[in-house]
A = this chain, B = another copy of it.
Amino acid sequence: MSNAPAVVDPGGLRAVLDGPWAWVRDAHRKHLDERFLPVYGETGDQARERVSRLLAELPVELGIRAGFPTEYGGGDDVGGSIVAIEMLAQVDLSLMVKAGVQWGLFGGAVAALGTTRHHDAYLRDIVSGSLFGCFAMTETGHGSDVQQLRTTCTYDPQTGTFDLHTPHEAARKDYIGNAARDGRMAVVFAQLITNGRKHGVHAWLVPIRDEHGNPLPGVTICDAGPKAGLLGVDNGRLSFDHVSVPRDMLLDRYAQIAEDGTYSSPIEDDSRRFFTMLGTLVRGRVSVGGAASAATRSALTIAVRYGDIRRQFGTPDADREVLLNDYLAHQRKLLPALATTYALHFAQAELVATLSEVQGGSGPVDEHRQRELESRAAGLKAAQTWHATRTIQMCREACGGAGYLAENRLPGLKADTDVFTTFEGDNTVLLQLVAKGLLTGYRDEFGSLDGWGRASFVAEHVREMVLERTAARPLVERLISAVPGRDEEVAVTDRGWQLKIFEDRERHRLDGAVRRLRNGAATKKDHPFDIFNDVQDHVIAVAAAHIDRVTLEAFVAGIDATADQAVRALLSRVCDLYALSVIEADKGWLLEHARLTPARAKTVTGVVNGLLKELRPHMRTLVDGFAIPDAWLNCAVLREEPRRQETMADHDVAGGR
């Protein structure tokens, strides 16, 4: 089974991982030196001042502003701008979030929801960084269900202006980045009311501070105060007390107000219009997923390199104590996490390429592909951010006490990325979004789900979405069809068998969820909430299985596209470890549903342990393939420990004096 080459050049891995936006990655590695790194032990004020200053100094070569039209200082390259955010996350997560707020959320909303009038007036200053702004959507009372925002913006034809108002405390805008210190304007989301009618949530571009930085009349700004991490980001709260907003500050790409208050929109349904607007902002979610994975790669690089120099406990068959990375228990922690990180890297790369295709052109957006993109973005955001939280925690523990010291970076990575699991969409809510898309697709295919389809609560929550097959589909189908009929005849490292397990699991779970929903619709007609709620755990499991499949297929496609044979062979073993780790972790379900026999389940565990042994010599190569500059790791113990180990070799016998 050992097909992995003895030695692989990390440069070969890097070329594959860097992908089509290698220029963005290289620009970051070249232009961002120690000056841009987090400073340990700063106060909140110091961090905000530093990050704000550095944000304005980010070189244009990085591509961080590339997502905007060239005429306003951008580069018409959405994909490049997302990869740039991902790279910034390896430098400083506060800087990354601040950049994401300014150019992704604020600038992105003006570009996507506004029209030429707004673009000509503001976009150049937003892109250059001379006009800082906020993205004011979330309210204290409504974060996940933003269709129910309580802020109102009511048009008055007498004055030709809107009246923007926060009706009660729970309607204040909360957790808003750039609000507490730097923002001069905000894109504010509120319920549009005109001529006595509500038209759902829309967005306005609203000045919030004057040129001296003081809040404008009617605008109340509070600091959200200290947070778990992201000290350099000035999150705040915004309230509006009947603030007058000129008519032309409505971002009116999807809806217009005439002077007399007449409302018009190319999309009639309020809900559909709002989700179309949200869809144009999907890049934010894609960026957060990518940033989470980038931070995960930093943490794994630190933990793997530490485990290759740190020794503990002696053994009779060696002169020196044993390296942490030589322990099976340590490999069991680091290597499956590393394999998953590789898998997610390919899935994210595929997602960014798709986003770039779907939203990168100037023509109309294909609605079907847009829906697929949104679902994929939601699922991979959840998968990558949870993987980051778990893996960075594991890396911190794998470095023992050293992992708890700020000077070794891991505390910062952990604290800064923690919020990713709940911002840009709470992960559990996002998984339900993914599942609902799959369920709708299923309904369309089989046409027999009227029972639950008629339950109004379910119907309301199911958006019309048919989930696509992945790009790797022809390859996947070829591999699966090559698997013999009986499982016992095929090795658990057979890629086709692995793909089949992932696909079967998703399909079977989907069937189960549909069956349960149908039964619920038949028996609980008077309790529509229960129909959905009683199946919520199944529904979430469907989404998780779907994301696993999409991830594995992206990894398989990525290997297939790799020309370098040595790199390909190594990636193939890493892919085995990813696939078998997922299977091992979910063997309970697979055994329960006769997808695995007990004997085969034990084989999987044995093969995973074999892969750990096989990949042990490649651990360092695998993290070096991420090509994170040494300086960016910003980790004291990696700078000092090698020297210390050398000294120790001279004194390895206790009592030497």
Contact = CB atoms under 8 A, between A and B. Distances in A.
Interface of A: 40-41, 43-44, 138, 140-145, 148-150, 152, 154, 165, 167-171, 174-175, 191, 193, 198, 224-229, 312-318, 321-322, 326-329, 332, 389, 393, 396-397, 400-401, 403-407, 410-411, 414-415, 418-419, 421-423, 426-428, 432, 456-457, 460, 526-529, 533-534, 536-537, 540, 584, 586-588, 590-594, 598, 601-602, 609, 640, 643-645, 647-648, 650-651, 654-657
A230 to B, nearest CB: 8
B648 A328 contact: no
26 contacts: A41-B44, A43-B43, A141-B648, A143-B312, A145-B313, A150-B648, A152-B655, A167-B651, A167-B656, A169-B643, A169-B647, A170-B648, A226-B406, A227-B411, A316-B460, A328-B533, A328-B534, A329-B537, A332-B537, A393-B393, A396-B418, A401-B419, A403-B422, A404-B422, A591-B601, A592-B601
A165 to B, nearest CB: 7
A537 B404 contact: no
B405 A644 contact: no
A505 to B, nearest CB: 14
Given A226-B406, A228-B414, 10 more contacts: A148-B313, A149-B654, A152-B655, A170-B644, A174-B401, A193-B655, A225-B405, A393-B418, A400-B426, A401-B422
Copies per assembly: 2
Nearest to A171: B651
Contacts of A142: 312
A225 B648 contact: no
Contacts of A40: 225-226
A587 to B, nearest CB: 4
Q: Which of A191, A329, A423, A593 has the most CB of B within 10 A?
A: A329
Contacts of A328: 533-534, 536-537
B415 A397 contact: no
A315 B144 CA distance: 15
Nearest to A41: B226
Contacts of A170: 644-645, 647-648
A657 B411 contact: no
A598 B602 contact: no
Nearest to A419: B404
Nearest to A431: B329
B422 A397 contact: yes
| Smallest CB-CB A-B distances: 4 pairs | A228-B411, A588-B588, A587-B588, A226-B406
A247 B285 CA distance: 66
A379 B392 CA distance: 24
Contacts of A651: 150, 167-168, 171
Contacts of A316: 456-457, 460, 528-529
Contacts of A150: 648, 651, 654
A460 B193 CA distance: 78
A319 to B, nearest CB: 12
Contacts of A647: 168-170
Contacts of A318: 529
A584 B144 CA distance: 30
Given A317-B528, A648-B170, A165 B406 contact: no
A362 to B, nearest CB: 35
B225 A407 contact: yes
B154 A657 contact: yes
Contact of A329 (B174, B389, B419, B536): B536
A571 to B, nearest CB: 25
Nearest to A406: B226
Contact of A400 (B198, B225, B422): B422
Contact of A529 (B165, B322, B527, B640): B322
Given A317-B527, A404-B419, A457-B316, A594 B588 contact: no
Contacts of A528: 315-317
Nearest to A154: B657
A656 to B, nearest CB: 6
Contacts of A602: 592
Nearest to A174: B401
Contacts of A415: 228, 411, 415
Given A170-B647, A533-B326, A645-B170, A312 B145 contact: yes
